[in-house]
Structure 1
Amino acid sequence: MNQSLRSMILAAEFAAIIAVLSQFTIPFGLIPLTGQTLAIGLSVTILGRKTGTYAILIYLLLGLIGLPVFAGMSGGVAVLFGPTGGYLVGFIINGLVTGDILERTSFTYKWAVIANLIGAVLTLLFGTIWLKLSGQLDWIGAFQGGFVPFIIPGAIKAVAAAYLGILLRERLPFFSVNSKKSVQK
């Protein structure tokens, strides 16, 4: 199979995985705890920067056109530009940075944890800034409402994404788009 066709198929499949895991939601005030961030880290850890980020972009485009793929079976422009939209857009930054770190270093458990933790923090920072601006909050309020409550759950999901991503990359090498950068122990 052509490598670019294979990459596109994997990106579409992982966009669907992100959409499914996004529905695992724990209501937590304005910003719910979801499986989205776990799915984002998992996608990039398995697929790498380019294909993993394509999966994120496909997922966001599906939600943008109104398909109910975002948390709570929501979708549409209003969600993307609402108070939680910064987290959604932050997923792109997360994918690019996490994937870049892994591709510049190696796909090992250590580097996957580091990369996913950095990506999770970037998502939280981007979402918090967006929340401050869209909600007309002060910095302290935005930080306390949009960052602090999600540090521990975000770290747990980042470590889980790193562990599961490397495990699946080892066990199922056909997921690995870039065969030169196979899992290193």
Structure 2
Amino acid sequence: MSSDRLRMYLFSSMLAAVTAIFAQIEIPLPLVPISGQTLAVGIAATILGSRYGAFSMVIYMMLGVIGLPVFAGFAGGAHIVAGPTGGYIVGFIAAAFFTGLFLEKTAFTYKMAIIANLIGMLVTLTFGTIWLKILLDLSWPAALAAGVTPFLAVGVIKALLAAWIGIAVRERLKSSQMSFGKAA
């Protein structure tokens, strides 16, 4: 294994840990809390790109599935992923991938990172809302009211922050001769 690849795996693991920390910043709501997780997803994807950003979210989800208290409210276990918040957690993987992919196909700039993180927010909300609809047998209006509406305004703010932090960190790492491999 090359040292660049090992470095990217380590960064992926570190950003999974950052996601676990940010998950503890939360505002409780009836079905799904507003948490810092999605901010961390955007930061990870903006720094790492599609493949390693998604990999960091797989690590995060698997740590929670095996029971480590990495999900919001210091929760852990497969039952969390099988519950109302599971669609969002699974959606983090897709969101990180598509956020990173958009940046790889365009440019790692603040403007493009804002657009990419807004796309990632929509991906997460789509997964979460579909999951809520199916799991809780909600109507579409009820699923949208519970799964999208409470998160839109704060999601835009988190997309802006993720873009700013992610690009700043990525540029700092690049200036220190950090290599992001071929894809990122």
Residue 72 of structure 1 aligns to a residue in which SS? helix
Partner of 2:38: 37
1:53 equivalenced with 2:66 (yes/no): no
Could you list the per-position Cα deviations for residues 31-85 of structure 1 after superposition, in whole angstroms to 9, with x for gaps in the alignment?
Answer: 1010000000001101111111111100000001010000000011110010110
Q: Quick check: 2:49–2:183 contact (8 Å CA) kept in 1?
A: no
Q: Distance in 2 between matches of 1:114 and 1:76?
A: 33
What is the number of equivalent residue pairs in this alignment? 182
C-alpha deviation, 1:171, in angstroms: 2.2
Q: Distance in 2 between matches of 1:175 and 1:26?
A: 38
TM-score relative to the length of structure 2? 0.94
Q: Quick check: 1:10–1:175 contact (8 Å CA) kept in 2?
A: no
CA shift in 2, pair 1:168/1:25, >3 Å: same
C-alpha deviation, 1:2, in angstroms: 1.0
TM-score relative to the length of structure 1? 0.93
Aligned structure 1 segments of 4 or more residues deviating by more than 6 angstroms: none
CA RMSD of aligned residues (A): 1.6
Structure 1: gaps spanning 5 or more residues: none
Letter in 1 for 2:152: I
Could you list the per-position Cα deviations for residues 6-53 of structure 1 after superposition, in whole angstroms to 9, with x for gaps in the alignment?
Answer: 111111111111101111111122110100000000011011111111
C-alpha deviation, 1:177, in angstroms: 4.5
Matches within 5 A, 1:3-152: 3-152=4-153
Aligned residues with identical type, % of pairs: 49
Letter in 2 for 1:93: A
